[in-house]
Amino acid sequence: MVSNFRELLARGANLPKVFVLSLLSALQLHNNEIMDSIFDSRLNNGRWEIDRSTIKLLRKLGAGQFGEVFEGLWNGTTSVAVKTLKNGSMDAEDFLREAQIMKRLRHAKLIQLYAVCTMEEPIYIITELMKNGSLLEYLQKDKGSTLSFSDQIEMAAQVASGMSFLELQNYIHRDLAARNVLVGENNICKVADFGLARVFMVSRTKQRTSLNYGTKFPVRWTAPEVIRYNKFTIKSDVWSFGILLYEIMTFGQMPYPTMTNYQVIQQVPEGHRMSCPLKCPKFMYHMMTECWNGKEQERPTFETLLWRLEDYFEQDVSSYDDANNFH
């Protein structure tokens, strides 16, 4: 019986990486289910409210527009991440929407919700803890000196896997970026921050979810149709995934590094696209440009992106070293 990631990696040393990665994902999903059962056994009538006195905040992991994230300990034994809402920073119902969405979304590449504390301020959302923080910080911390191209492909594939599930469930993330992907042990990546996500239903007539005027959104990750019309579809998430690929291949470089936000808003809808990053293989840049297609209906699905990345991942890594494959 394989009991942990390290043992699995050791036993799978001679297996294809995609197969080992799939086993790792299955094992982590099993661990998440165990955590769910631990929390659920202490919740009454299916509710997921817990007593905040059972949560001890240990250290701050980060802060954003609406709140802070801490490493915490539940009941003195279980490591968790705790997201808090700054008093008065936004409507509590908006904050809790994230928890409502996360509770319904169960996938190995999505951050899993464990419980909430909403009876007093600050509100807590308790999730699984990812020890290595955001993908953006992880990429930037050593300028990629410890990450191989194979690692980059693996990370991209994991994000595509999580987003493919959202696509299947008719959900739109609306804020996909390296800062909103979290990294655990063995480069395990999971999509986080569903605070802007809105469910959308696919019917005979295409329905879209509109962004309220005045709402802030990250323009460098935003599709042209969102900039122009303030409307989102899963295809605008695909555009953002292309930007995330750029972040991965540049080890966390800011998109459109020589442009201001205003220039991005003005020029991207008119056809401007980033050039291929240094040492980026042609097929990866081609995938980026497919995601950045000005005609949203012609962008690939996340399912297609996932199988392409998995196909690349299974190839002999030495094939990537051919200078003809790079720009």
Other beta carbons less than 10 A from residue 97's beta carbon: 16
Confirm whether residue 103 is marked as ligand binding: no
Is 83 a known ligand-binding residue?
A: yes
Q: In 3D, which of 165, 125, 139, 167 has the Cα closest to residue 39?
A: 125
- Does the annotation place 308 within a ligand binding site? no
d(CA 221, CA 217): 9
Q: Catalytic site residues? A: 175
Neighbours of 184 (CB within 10 A): 18
Query: Is 104 known as a binding-site position?
Result: no
E strand segments, the chain:
55-63, 67-74, 78-85, 113-117, 124-127, 171-172, 181-183, 189-191, 198-199, 209-210, 231-232
Contact 50, 38 (CB under 8 A): no
CA distances from 308 to 14, 40, 160 (A): 23, 38, 10
**Annotated binding site for Mg(2+), which residues?**
180, 193
**Annotated binding site for ATP, which residues?**
83, 179
